[in-house]
Copies of this chain bind each other. A is one copy, B any other.
Amino acid sequence: MSVQKNDFSKWYIDTIQKADLMDYTPVRGCIAFKPDGYELWERIQAEMDRRFKETGHRNAYFPMLIPESFFQKEKDHIEGFSPELPWVTEAAGEQLEERLALRPTSETMIGHLYSDWIKSYRDLPVLINQWANVFRWEKKTLPFIRTSEFLWQEGHTAHVDEEDARKETMQMLQIYKEVVEDLLAIPVYDGQKTPSERFAGAVDTYSIEAMMKDGKAVQAGTSHYLGTKFAEAFDIKYLNKENKHVHVHTTSWGTSTRLIGAMIMVHGDEQGLVLPPKMAPTQVVLIPVGPWKKKPEIIEKLDEVFAELKAKGIRVKLDDSDQSPGYKFNEWELKGVPVRIELGPRDLENGQALMKARDAEEKEAVSLEQLVASIENELTVMQTRLLEKAKQFREENSHTHIDTMEQLKNHIEEAQAAGNVPGWILSGWCGEDACEEQVKEETKFTTRNIPFNPPAEKKVCVNCGNEAKHSVWFGRAY
């Protein structure tokens, strides 16, 4: 196992492979999601889907192949995506007349169809979501975080006016924030992207941004107000109450399997994965220890606890394999199982078991009568504790005292020299693309977002020193 502190990337790759979450494949940048990895996605899906439906959205499915001509209709969109598109050029032994792109996102196909589906104000809002695979042929890939094919959901909604569309954009961003914080125990900053970081074709892009343990940022979800740009490109108009044909206002919003990668990079430690209890495929593992084979009461007791936990809907495993306890401990820690219970002859005599939370230093003795209740409680407490720990890490590595490029460079150098993570910097920004670009060139820090609730008010642009229009998070990003 690689040491997390020394080489975070290597630690990450080692961890997800050893924990059996994924495997590489011979197709460039495409991974296989193994069952323990895919189950993480299923939990994210279930919770997101529930929230989407609660807020009136329905799922649909659109073709994966998109005609080249569709991309040409919105010029920002094609500019942004064309460098990354894979193309189908032949099928069933024949050359196609028009190349078909593997969808990188579906605004164009959906825009084309919405122009047929939407006729009157009575048809609005259209609130549709799609669960799908998408493709972006990127140069550098990293499992879960950036892959040529990935899984995601993409919401596509159409509204009578800007106000309604902007409300939707914000509502979905807030749902993302809640799910990512509550389920994945990842604290995020919600805010607005700068123009240079906008989705190709958006009027405004909003994001939630999370800090990994190496201090880098992962954009964990985005929500776009698209204005009438796609409505104009695809002629999506409706007859309003005043009997006029006007363009709809559209939104789109997405989260993807990169959330799995973010969760691992936020909570993982030197021993491997650390899974928030709500996410863990296995929440509790029961392990007999000592000369337990000579004492059948031990397995009997564990069987009983197993059945009780199961009945409560807790995902539990009993590891009665022939491996040594030490081997088992390592194995289950690597897989990030939140709670481990050990029971040996001595424990049984004392009417207790040992409980070890994955993120705790010490084991805890728990009376057998209280065991099930204690486990339940620990699962709840740990979920919150992981979020709090991640928040604390983020606060420790968020810096608001930097006002100039020189200070920024010094900060990064000093952090690197000391073996610390440079983290994120909240700095002032005048609003000029050029200043943003300059920071990126000199430090590799990019703007993450303009947080809705910045922890400080910054007054001057970190690059030009002019008056700041915004306080912006800067950081290295995945």
Contact = CB atoms under 8 A, between A and B. Distances in A.
Interface of A: 23, 25-27, 30-35, 37-39, 41-42, 58-67, 83-93, 100, 102, 109, 112-113, 116-117, 128, 132-133, 137, 139, 149, 151
Among A25, A26, A85, A89, chain B packs the most CB atoms within 10 A around the CB of A26
A92 B86 CA distance: 6
Contact of A100 (B23, B27, B33): B27
A85 B109 CA distance: 22
Contacts of A63: 25, 27, 30-32, 149
Contacts of A62: 25, 32-33
Contact of A149 (B26, B65, B139): B65
Nearest to A65: B27
Query: Which 3 pairs from chain A and chain B are nearest by CB?
Result: A86-B91, A35-B58, A30-B63
Nearest to A102: B88
A88 B91 contact: no
27 contacts: A23-B117, A25-B62, A25-B113, A27-B63, A27-B65, A27-B100, A30-B65, A31-B63, A32-B61, A32-B113, A33-B62, A35-B128, A38-B59, A61-B151, A65-B86, A65-B149, A84-B92, A85-B91, A85-B92, A86-B90, A86-B100, A88-B88, A88-B102, A89-B89, A89-B90, A91-B137, A92-B139
Contact of A112 (B26, B100, B133, B151): B26
Contacts of A35: 58-60, 128
Given A26-B112, A100-B27, A60 B88 contact: no
Contacts of A65: 27, 30, 86, 149
A93 B92 CA distance: 23
Nearest to A82: B93
Contacts of A61: 32-33, 38, 41, 151
A26 B112 CA distance: 9
Given A38-B59, A113-B25, A128-B35, A87 B91 contact: yes
A134 to B, nearest CB: 10
Contacts of A83: 92-93
A39 B59 contact: yes
A25 B109 contact: yes
Contacts of A87: 88-91
B23 A116 contact: yes
A122 to B, nearest CB: 9
Contacts of A116: 23
Contacts of A86: 65, 88, 90-92, 100
A102 B376 CA distance: 46
A96 to B, nearest CB: 8
A2 to B, nearest CB: 21
A89 to B, nearest CB: 5
Among A58, A83, A91, chain B packs the most CB atoms within 10 A around the CB of A91
B33 A67 contact: no
A387 to B, nearest CB: 27
Contacts of A139: 92
A60 B33 contact: yes
A90 B101 CA distance: 10
A88 B90 CA distance: 7
Contacts of A90: 86-87, 89
A65 B64 CA distance: 13
A117 B17 CA distance: 12
A109 B60 CA distance: 27
A454 B64 CA distance: 42
